[in-house]
Amino acid sequence: MLEAVSHSLERTHLGRHDFDWLPPRYRAIRWTVAGGIWTGMVSGVAALSWFAHFNIALFGKGLAVLATGGYVAGDRAARAVMRGRLKKLAQGAVDLQRLPSEPDGELVHVVGRVRLRTPLAGFVATTERAAYRRVLISLDTYRVVHEAAEDFWLVADGSEPVLIEAAQSRLLVADPNPQWYAPDSEVARAVEALPLPTELDRTMQRRSERRQKGKKLGRVRVGETLLREGDEVEVVGYKSRTVDLTVATRLERDTPYRATLRAGKSLPLLIAPRTS
């Protein structure tokens, strides 16, 4: 029950680590889907290889691509399942008006609209302002996820705004539609300026060397999802309180506590835009 402070978020990681936070009972969803797709594709390619006498080296490269496809498909399935099970995770929904009276430490599910507290610039759409940005990047053979967020308010008619702490939060959304960007575009330069995973060190070194020699560089594929002002979202998080002197609904002698949702030890704070 501390005073409200900023709990910003910024992380960049390989796509295959995007769901390392999944609770144990949900991890099987990801790997079952990924494994099933991978096995089916490999069987098909193996059959073609036998009939058409494909080069074994080419076949090996094909397996690597298919394995990546399996991971991606598994992540998409896990993301969709988690979005569908938000209410079950939190044992039912809580109206924002009743949230202040809920016991601290309870895992709750709420619905409301985003109100920006500390606007965050978009990564691709730099003139846009958001509470959360999620960027999917394809660079060389790597799939990278970059996320950044700031605390925001969750509001509903007739209730005090609820503080959503962005630290250790996760945005559950479908993959954005990516676009290709030239190697010397502002977007490509912004990607290269990120604190990328160490697995990309050699890739970035080669890009730097080729640029210095005036040689051609590969394009970068980037897609972005923004959580904007007014977006309706579902949030699952652990209920807490912070001291906030701007709270209007209280008695004069009461400590001005603001209902707050944050991550816990067992589960990050989960945010999912509502679809019509």
pLDDT of residue 140: 87
pLDDT of residue 245: 56
Name the stretches of the chain with pLDDT < 70. Answer: 1-6, 25-75, 77-78, 81-82, 84-92, 244-255, 276
The 3-state secondary structure of the chain, one letter per residue: CCECCCCCEEEEEEHHHCCCCCCHHHHHHHHHHHHHHHHHHHHHHHHHHHHHCCCHHHHHHHHHHHHHHHHHHHHHHHHHHHHHCHHHHCCCECCCCCHHHCCCCCEEEEEEEEEECCCEECCCCCCCEECEEEEEEEECCEEEEEEEECCEEEECCCCCCEEECCCCEEECCCCCCCEEECCCCHHHHHHHHCCCCHHHHHHHHHHHHHHHCCCCCCCEEEEEEEECCCCEEEEEEEEEEEECCCCCCCCCCCCCEEEEEECCCCCCEEEEECCC
pLDDT in tens, 183-230: 999 999 999 999 999 999 999 999 999 999 999 999 999 999 999 999
pLDDT of residue 55: 42
